[in-house]
């Protein structure tokens, strides 16, 4: 029997990319999946061939921070106990700090950090009451190493690592686990949908994402990490520069910063 059979999972950012692929893998393993994304039409189209008894679709904009608490309460009331939350929704950004509008940083932090913290805050009492649960968050390798052109994006992702590393120690006594997922290059539209210095969509796929793992491959590795209750998992091909960056940054920091001045992520 699948580890995930009978579990109820929330996946945010479920209409495309890693969120869509991971939700489909959960469903294939018998989990009940609550899909959350701004686009109801995309979710309905993407999941039309799956068992509709095992999925629920909830269109919601996570940047409406003040509405998250009531939204989470509605999910619990309608769907019952939640076993796993996968905080996946997010947006990337390419732009040098000196040229970037700080309003773009606010947008990045609002979705990538504050909405995750609020969703976690809203669902945590429920998991503590039932004395079990797992909070999984997509933090990106950009949350482990910084690089040129990514100061805003890395800021939000580093913040997630600091927040969840602290939270993990506070809630483990309640049998609630924290797993951080740090993808490297995955073939999604994250580059196309990224924001520029001015906040406009980047609109091009020229950052090497298509050379990375496919979304279904990434999803399988993510579910393995969740099943194993890993504290942190880098999700990338063995030859992805992400692995190299993480280890060089840790063991040879001077060399890492030498390379970082020359490589644009």
Q: Is 153 a catalytic residue?
A: yes
49: in domain: yes
Give residue 45's pLDDT: 97
Find residue 93's DSSP bridge partners: 195
Whether residue 2 is contained in a domain is answered as no
Distance CA 124, CA 120 (A): 6
Has residue 102 been placed in a domain? yes
**Cα separation, 216 vs 123, whole angstroms:** 27
pLDDT number for residue 232: 96
List per-block mean pLDDT (blocks of 10 residues) for the chain, which spans 265 residues: 94 97 98 97 97 97 98 98 97 92 95 98 98 97 86 96 97 98 90 88 70 91 98 88 75 75 61
Q: What is the CATH number of the domain that holds 131?
A: 3.40.50.720
Helices 241-251, 253-260: inter-axial angle, 10-degree rounding: 130
pLDDT of residue 251: 81
Predicted local confidence at residue 206, as pLDDT:
58
Domain that holds residue 176: 8-260
- Residue 143 located in a structural domain: yes
CB neighbours (10 Å) of residue 72? 24
Element (H, E) at 21: helix 17-28
Whether 186 is covered by a domain: the verdict is: yes
Residue 101 belongs to a domain:
yes
Is the residue at 1 inside a domain? Answer: no
Q: What angle do CA 40, 50, 230 make, to 5 degrees?
A: 85
What pLDDT, on the 0 to 100 scale, is given for residue 262?
65
Other C-beta atoms closer than 10 Å to the C-beta of 221 total: 19
Element (H or E) spanning 58, and its range? strand 55-59
Given this model, what pLDDT does residue 191 score?
Answer: 82
230 is a domain residue: yes
Domain count, the chain: 1
Residue 190: predicted pLDDT: 83
Q: Residue 247 has what pLDDT?
A: 73
Q: Which pLDDT score, from 0 to 100, does residue 69 have?
A: 98
> What pLDDT is recorded for position 139?
94
State the burial class of residue 129 (Cβ atoms within 10 Å of its Cβ: 0-12, 13-18, 19+). exposed
From 3, 58, 96, 153, active-site residue:
153
């Amino acid at each position: 029997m699948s580890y995930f059979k009978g579990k109820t999972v929330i996946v945010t950012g479920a209409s495309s990319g890693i969120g869509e692929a991971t939700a489909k893998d959960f469903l294939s393993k018998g989990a009940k999946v609550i899909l959350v994304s701004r686009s109801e039409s995309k979710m309905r189209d993407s999941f039309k061939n799956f068992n509709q008894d095992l999925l629920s679709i909830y269109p919601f904009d996570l940047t409406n921070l003040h509405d998250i608490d009531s939204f989470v309460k509605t999910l619990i009331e309608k769907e019952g106990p939640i076993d796993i939350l996968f905080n996946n929704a997010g947006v990337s950004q390419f732009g040098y700090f000196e040229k970037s509008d700080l309003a773009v940083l606010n947008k990045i932090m609002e979705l990538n950090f504050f909405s995750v913290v609020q969703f976690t805050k809203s669902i945590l009492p429920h998991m503590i009451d039932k004395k079990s649960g797992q909070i999984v968050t997509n933090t990106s390798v950009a949350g482990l190493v910084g690089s040129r052109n990514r100061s805003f994006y890395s800021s939000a992702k580093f913040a997630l690592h600091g927040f969840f590393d602290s939270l993990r120690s506070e809630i483990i006594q309640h049998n609630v686990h924290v797993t951080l997922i740090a993808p490297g290059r995955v073939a999604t539209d994250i580059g196309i949908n990224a924001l520029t210095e001015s906040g406009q969509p980047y609109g091009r796929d020229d950052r090497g994402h298509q050379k990375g793992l496919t979304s279904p491959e990434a999803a399988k590795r993510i579910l393995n990490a969740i099943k194993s209750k890993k504290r942190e998992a880098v999700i990338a091909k063995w030859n992805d520069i992400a692995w190299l960056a993480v280890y060089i940054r840790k063991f040879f920091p001077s060399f890492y910063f030498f390379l970082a001045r020359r490589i644009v992520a």
